[in-house]
Amino acid sequence: MSGRIASTFARLARERRTALIPYVTGGDPDLDATAHVLDALVEAGADIVELGVPFSDPMADGPVIQAAMNRALAHGVRLADLLEVARAFRERHPDVPLILFGYMNPLHRYGLERAVRDMAAAGVDGLLVVDLPPEEAEELTRHTRPAGLDFIALYTPTSDDDRVRTIAAQGSGFAYCVSMTGVTGGRVSEHDALAARVQAVRRLSGVPAAVGFGVRTPEDAVRVAAIADGVVVGSALVQAMAGRAPVEAPAVAGEFIAAMRQAMDAATR
């Protein structure tokens, strides 16, 4: 586990708080605004930040994030641009973990070994690749491990215990538990079943477990925070910024995440 990710979860565990992990698509509404949005998220209480790498065929994402990726691609945003965003973010926020979220195609185009090397140099802490099955993950993790990057593995509601062990053999940092089948942007699944699955993934993987897909409101965040080590919010945040002028996006993002952070912290007092 990378130093920043490990220390963040360790600190939050001591404080009996749950990590808040927002996702935004890099380059939406534009590249300059993305840097300010990331700052606003940290100031609003984000513990870890996920930065999406635009891709033209984001099959695991729903229409909200697909549209954000299309807008970013229309601006010409590529992985190399986001590495510069990451580098500047690391200078401003030396202790906040930053994860790149995306698909294998942009990594292959850039070159896997080169991509991992440049991510590490830019201060990226982890990589989450939604279309890379665990059976093929060694293709990437043989580069991420020596570079000190975490490979954040995805666990679906249909992953039985044997499957969880297989996925965990490649993953590190934290376990990303998908709350539902299907694409991003749906609703959080039935609470008791999700709680049992999160507990099993945490036990079998040996790393903290965060839940994403379907967290839309502060109330959703509180419910998920009660059963997980981290709460990931993506589509709802991206939707809140959609259609906003670049100058408006940081304030919108900050207010959205601050409401979730306040609700999560209030629930643990």
| Catalytic pick among 28, 47, 61, 125 | 61
Is 61 among the catalytic positions?
Answer: yes
| Catalytic pick among 50, 81, 125, 150 | 50
List the one residue out of 8, 100, 94, 124 whose CA is nearest residue 50: 100
16/14 Cα distance (integer angstroms): 5
CA atoms within a 13 Å half-sphere pointing along the CA-CB vector of 42: 18
Is 192 among the catalytic positions?
Answer: no
Distances (CA, A) of 32 to 2, 201, 233: 27, 38, 22
The answer to whether the peptide bond before residue 29 is cis (omega within 30 degrees of 0) is yes
204/198 Cα distance (integer angstroms): 10
Query: Which amino acid would we find at residue 102?
Result: G
Which sequence positions are flagged as catalytic? 50, 61
